[in-house]
Amino acid sequence: MTERVGFGMRPGSGSPAEEETSSAGEPLPPDASIDLAKERADSQVDEVLDALDRELVGLVPVKTRIREIAALLLIDRVRERFGIDSGRPNLHMCFTGSPGTGKTTVAVRLAELLHRLGYVRRGHLVSVTRDDLVGQYVGHTAPKTKEVLKRAMGGVLFIDEAYYLYRAENERDYGQEAIEILLQVMENQRDDLVVVLAGYKDRMDSFFSSNPGMSSRIAHHIDFPDYAAGELEEIGTMMMEREGYRLDPAAEPVFREYVERRRKQPRFANARSVRNAIERARLRHANRLLDAGGSVDRAELTTLRADDFLGSRVFGAGS
């Protein structure tokens, strides 16, 4: 869990930014003006948004929505300086999409963004699943859920595959207790915690149908589309570059064919499947070099060849 120092909180936070506003006295007069470019630069939100662009290929609708949320929060902060108070917006969210589409990465950057704008105190992300919240016997769920919430306060709580919290087929399941505690905190302590629920869209829709109280507390529903083949190739290239590898020209069509075939197979996990393929290629690359013996140069140590991707499982149904 990463903790970061705040840049300036909203009124009531006790931050230096608040003290400066308080010492200034009354709100700005109606005929005053504020330089939005300076406000934007001072907030440093563009650093976070630019990092999101660098880290994730594609996802234009997702990035656009995050930028819109950042713009709203920044303008709300400017409005406050004129004494215009719209109230704190509801920031609880639902991220829907297949595995490997960047939901967790966006949640991490969202926490940092909200922190820089003063909407959360600490800017950390706590990522959990059902097992972290729901106990196995009477009296076990409440302490587990409350401990997770305590850790997440001042930041963002990311609940992956949130629909598993509710199991209608099991009347003795304790997930409903965790949901009720979450609902209370999402409503009563939303000034100190943002909750992001994540999972497949159809299952999240069913979850919300069964839990209307949860649905009413979610303000932003953001869908993460599957990556196109060209985007997955670009993601793979970025992954290899980060690890100090490159593709031999003859391997490029092989890798492209892998992406095309793998997208059509069951349990495809987008960027995760690409990463797994690269990890298997690295294993074959290392084994190939050792079996060959002799000396190697830098080019051989950093180049993945076609045969490194042509193992028996690379076109199979694995992840």
Sorted by where each begins, the domain ranges of the chain are: 16-224, 229-308
Interval 194-217 mean pLDDT: 93
Side-chain half-sphere of 87: how many Cα atoms within 13 Å?
4
Output the pTM of the full model.
0.82
CB 161 within 8 A of CB 199: yes
The residue ranking higher by pLDDT, 194 or 18, is 194
pLDDT digits (tens, 9 = 90+) for 36-48: 999 999 999 999 9
CB 130 within 8 A of CB 141: no
Share of the chain above pLDDT 90, in %: 70
Smallest Cα–Cα separation from 120: which of 68, 93, 157, 148? 157
Q: Hey, what CATH topology would domain 229-308 get?
A: Helicase, Ruva Protein; domain 3 (1.10.8)
pLDDT at residue 25 in the model: 55
pLDDT at residue 50 in the model: 95
pLDDT at residue 119 in the model: 92
Name the H helices within 125-251. Answer: 130-133, 141-152, 175-188, 201-210, 212-215, 229-242
pLDDT at 215 over 60: yes
Query: What CATH architecture is 16-224?
Result: 3-Layer(aba) Sandwich (3.40)
